[in-house]
Amino acid sequence: MILQVADDSQTTISTSVGSGGVERVAFDNADVVSRLFYFRVSYFEVLGCVDYGVEMTTQPGCNQDDMISNLGCFDGTILNGSFPQGQPINLVLQPSANDFFEYRALPPLATLNVTIEFDHDVADLDLSGSRLTQAGCSLLEASASTTDVETISVFNDTGVPIDVNIEAAWSGSAVGAPCTTYSFVYDVQPGSSPCVPDDAFESNDHACDAAPLSIGVYSDLRVGDGVPDIFEVLVPGDSIGTFAVDYDPTMGDVELALYEGSFDCGLLTPVGSSASGTGYEEVFVNRVGLPSRLVYVEVLYPTSDGGCTSYDLTIGEGNPNSIGERICVGEPNSTGLSSQVAGLGSINVADNAVILACSGLPPQTFGYFFNSRGYGFVANPAGSSGNICIAGGGSGRYVGPGEIQNSGQGSDVFLSVDLSATPNSSSGFVSVAPGETWYLQYWHRDASPAGATSNFSGAIRVRFL
């Protein structure tokens, strides 16, 4: 006898000719829709008739799912943002073609839970989770039972965000199935921060959730064991981005690191770090002669004691031709632009060689420089058109003989200052000491459509050595 199978175009696709009393054909429907097939049984003896029986069986198809390229440690389908947590995904798995998935930047103290469900009578599947690095995958958790469900929970106890690779693996099939279907579901449970209450930027524990900041001073931030703070800052082209933290080392250590990276919070490249344990850490990125660049600032509490500490973060914009860095931008004055303070000379106290400059002033306007030991923002004081950025305490005005300025026909003023006789509102004059940070700004008269007014320049921060 002859057994043949033809498709819906009458094209023969399989034939069986034998003499053992059994003819068998097998074929696949590779389409995503149902198709009509024809069976033809022929008796090739010249005369006579014969009885026969037909048995037909079907098995699930093995069409690939939408994640056909997730076949290796570095080719995992990225879960973040693509597949909602808690919602099952229906997939297909074949022998020798395991499925791989990737969860990027699992935060410190967070747990990634993954479950797959399948029909164990058709095929047995295993599940594993590994840490993904540039060197490959290192196993963290695995589940290989003989039930219809496999579950793993990957806990990040490293203190830094990690990438996790998930593998759904074919273990075997007692019935010889060519493939099986299964459902995949995941969720992430965040860890609890040791800082209670935390600051307003939480949760900014990894690059994917970095808090965007601009130049300025951000006070009383909090960072805890195993839960870093990460911020993203766009450093303008042709400038120097400066980043500093002030903290009390007796209350806990703080470390500072700076990275460059992609906008999709992928792999980050270290560009600087500071871990002195002295109460002050500073790093910078030089973009002079280069375009703008997005950087990530990481503040760490490196002590594994479950603790938490406070710190102040300063983000400044420096210039290779001046000292200090800009930490505040002034409001536009009557010229249509804002004025800006700069420091010239040396940051070494022993040199006592500092000149203060202010540019962008309206012509023929009086004004004076003033200082402070801290950052503090006051909007439009006494009806001014500008803002004070350095109202942080202990201010002093340079209004002694020859110190009050006038811009004349130009837009710039300059003042040479004596670091051993720095004006201070509480004690008259003080000497600047190495390791101290001073803030400087300029007040000046101005005009507006409503009449005479005043304004303030932007402000700078200078840390002396």
Q: Does 32 score more than 60 pLDDT? A: no
Omega prior to 273 cis, within 30 of 0: no
Sign, Cα dihedral of 353, 359, 361, 364: positive
Q: Mean pLDDT of all residues in the chain?
A: 88
Q: Number of H helices and number of E strands within the chain?
A: 0, 35
* Phi, psi (deg, nearest 5) at residue 351: -75, -30
% of the chain with per-residue pLDDT over 70: 90
Largest CA distance in the chain: 132
Q: What is the pTM of this model?
A: 0.63
Query: How far, in whole angstroms, is CA 435 from its chain's centroid?
Result: 32
Please report the pLDDT score of residue 332 as a whole number: 95
Dihedral angle, C-alpha 301, 302, 305, 308, nearest 10 °: -10
| Rounded-to-integer distance, Cα 370 and Cα 442, Å | 6
What is the rounded end-to-end Cα distance, in angstroms, of the chain? Answer: 100
| Rounded-to-integer distance, Cα 117 and Cα 139, Å | 21
453, 325 Cβ separation under 8 angstroms: no
pLDDT in tens, 63-118: 666 665 566 778 888 898 788 999 999 999 988 788 999 999 888 778 999 999 99
Two tokens, residue 378: 């006051």
Burial 406-416 (b: 16+ CB within 10 A, else e): ebeeebebebe
Domains parsed from the chain with CATH numbers? 2-42 (no CATH), 77-189 (2.60.120.380), 207-318 (2.60.120.380), 325-463 (2.60.40)
Please report the pLDDT score of residue 366 as a whole number: 96
Tell which wins on pLDDT, 221 or 42: 221
pLDDT in tens, 303-350: 878 788 999 999 999 998 999 999 999 999 999 999 999 999 999 999
Please report the pLDDT score of residue 26 as a whole number: 60
Instruction: Provide CB contacts within 8 A for 58, sequence distance 6+.
Output: none
Please report the pLDDT score of residue 25 as a whole number: 66
